[in-house]
Amino acid sequence: MKKVFTRPRSLKDVPFHYCPGCTHGVAHRLVAEVIDELGIQDNVIGNAPVGCAVFTMDYFDFDMISAAHGRAPAVATGVKRVLPDRVVFTYQGDGDLAAIGTGEFIHAAVRGEKITCIFINNAVYGMTGGQMAPTTLLGQKTKTTPYGRDSEVNGYPIKVCEMLTPLDGAAYVARVAVHSPKAIIQAKKALKKAFQVQINGLGFSLVEILSTCPTNWGLTPLEAVKWLDENMIPYFPLGEYKVPPAGVI
């Protein structure tokens, strides 16, 4: 019998350190599968964030750099400008990209840097123990909002894809999720398109992946995917927010 589903070549054969049911593993696999399918494993440079995914260099079987907190798009800009023939991407969480790194990714998009940002949005600070993140939903209970996020005190969740859409430098912006088989298939298509936009030199691309954090949400993995579907998707609608003109990729 032929193996039809197995570990992608770009992913090392080591167990993930992530909590049970954490969808970081699915996102890692999708990125590795896309890199395999595009045949760019020897030509890709990834930038790891600070957060749960800080150890991605242990998992991806290609060159990785670890940037200071939130600065992955700035480091990626430097790498891409020095080595323009490489495919450069960042893999960042919401605490990294949408909080301390807001300036970096917006200005990378404004400058039209030919890099790809993969943005994992799980509405909470994962590694530090479940504090409120900029993407935490209104009413969501976290360690620092024990009565639920209140817009009077804590403001509103940040919508990254909607923010990037008006910027001319951003060529591809999409929001996907990894909570169901259908969503995972669509997420992979979006990731592939984002890398193709970069390879074709069209500009900045960002894929926001809605992800679960069962540990810090205080839910079982199965409850967490349901919570994502019922609460996150209505506030963060899925879809392609900006696509290059038809026929370009």
* Binding string, residues 161-190; x marks residues near other proteins by CB under 8 A: -------------------xx--xx-----
What residues pair up with 89 in beta bridges, in sequence order? 46, 116
What lies within 8 Å, CB to CB, of 118 at 6+ separation is 27, 31, 89, 90, 91, 92, 191, 194, 206, 207, 209
Stretch that binds other proteins, among 49-57, 99-107, 160-168, 218-226 (CB under 8 A): 218-226
Of 86 and 226, the one with the shorter C-beta distance to other proteins is 226
Q: Is 9 in the site for other proteins (CB under 8 A)?
A: no
Torsion angle of alpha carbons 203, 204, 205, 211, nearest 10°? 180
Q: Quick one: which of 97, 225, 228, 238 contacts other proteins (CB under 8 A)?
A: 225
The answer to the question of residue 55 lying near other proteins (CB under 8 A) is no
End-to-end, the C-alpha distance of the chain in Å comes to: 35
Based on the shown chain and the rule CB under 8 A, indicate whether residue 127 belongs to the binding site for other proteins.
no
CA nearest to 173, candidates 154, 185, 191, 147: 191
The DSSP string of 166-224 is T-TTEEEEEEEE-SSHHHHHHHHHHHHHHHHHHHTT--EEEEEEE---HHHHTS-HHHH
- For the residues of 132-168, what is the DSSP string, one character each? --TTPPTT---SS-TT---HHHH-----HHHHHTT-T
Which residue of 10, 22, 116, 204 would you call a contact of other proteins, by CB under 8 A? 22
From the list 6, 153, 166, 246, which residue makes contact with other proteins (rule: CB under 8 A)? 6
Does 24 interact with other proteins (rule: CB under 8 A)?
yes
* Collapsed DSSP state (helix, strand, coil) of residue 88: strand
Contact criterion met (CB below 8 Å) for 41 and 62: yes
Q: Which is nearer to other proteins, 180 or 200 (CB)?
A: 180
Nearer to other proteins, 22 or 34 (CB): 22
Taking the complex as a whole, the smallest distance from the CB of residue 19 to other proteins amounts, in Å, to 8
Figure out which of the listed residues 78, 112, 148, 221 binds other proteins, where binding follows CB under 8 A.
221
Residues 21 and 224: beta-carbon distance below 8 Å:
yes
**Which of 214, 227, 241, 249 contacts other proteins by CB under 8 A?**
214
Rule CB under 8 A: is residue 18 a binding residue for other proteins?
Answer: yes
Number of residues that bind other proteins (CB under 8 A): 29
* Contact window for other proteins (CB under 8 A) among 4-12, 89-97, 99-107, 158-166: 4-12
Q: Taking CB under 8 A as the rule, does residue 74 contact other proteins?
A: no
Site residues (CB under 8 A) for other proteins?
A: 1-7, 11, 15-16, 18-26, 29, 180-181, 184-185, 214, 220-222, 225
